[in-house]
Amino acid sequence: MTKRTTHRSVAGKKLYAVRDEKGRFVDIQTYERAHRADLKRKSKAEKGKK
């Protein structure tokens, strides 16, 4: 399972760092972008309520 950790950029923005099973960085993006993408997607529970 991948793990997300939070960091801060030099500019002070919050970052999400996604790591693989070995602990290596796979993807780093701003918290703002990651959060917006999470809100855009529907969960399985929300999809089932149609």
* Residue pLDDT, tens place only, 2-48: 677 788 989 999 998 888 888 888 888 888 888 888 888 888 888 88
Q: Is the pTM of this model over 0.75?
A: no
Domain ranges for the chain, please list them: 3-42
Handedness of CA 21, 23, 29, 32 (dihedral sign): positive
**Residue 1 pLDDT class (50, 70, 90 cuts):** low
Asked whether the beta carbons of 4 and 20 are under 8 A apart, the reply is no
Single out the residue of 16, 26, 19 nearest to residue 2, CA to CA.
19
Residue 47's pLDDT is 84
